[in-house]
Homo-oligomer: A and B are copies of this chain.
Amino acid sequence: MPNLTPGRIRHTVVFTPHHAPGSTEEADFLAAGAALAAIPGVEAFEVLREVSPKNGYRFGFSMEFADQAAYTAYNEHPDHVAFVQGRWIPEVADFLEIDYVAHDRD
């Protein structure tokens, strides 16, 4: 993972589904999330397992956008909106969005 290029945005969300750990429902939810990688502008998409004992979250998605316009287009894309409404809201118990850009050492 090289340093983020200035202007790029790394959008991440760490979360815990309502589903039982290891369940078919959980796997299906993660697969539905992974399909977000196909939305135009999404780069470096990762499905991650959260393993720190210092928080209660279980998974993460991470992706990068070339710029704010690409991030905005993703947020507004019908496939993203449908995922949020149809899967994320009903199936996720807890989450935190964290977005990073390069630190410019001002």
Please give the count of copies of this chain that the complex contains: 2
Contacts of A66 in B (CB 8 A): none
Q: A1-B1, A1-B44, A2-B44 are in contact. Are A100 and B64 (CB under 8 A)?
A: no
With A27-B105, A44-B2: A55-B97 Cβ-Cβ less than 8 Å: yes
Residue A42 interfacial (CB < 8 Å): no
Q: Take A27-B105, A105-B27, A105-B30 as given contacts and tell me if A50 and B1 are in contact as well, using a CB distance cutoff of 8 Å.
A: no
Contact B1 A51 (CB under 8 A): no
Q: A residues bordering B, Cβ < 8 Å?
A: 1-4, 9-10, 14, 22, 27, 30, 44, 46-52, 54-55, 57, 59-60, 62, 64, 96-106
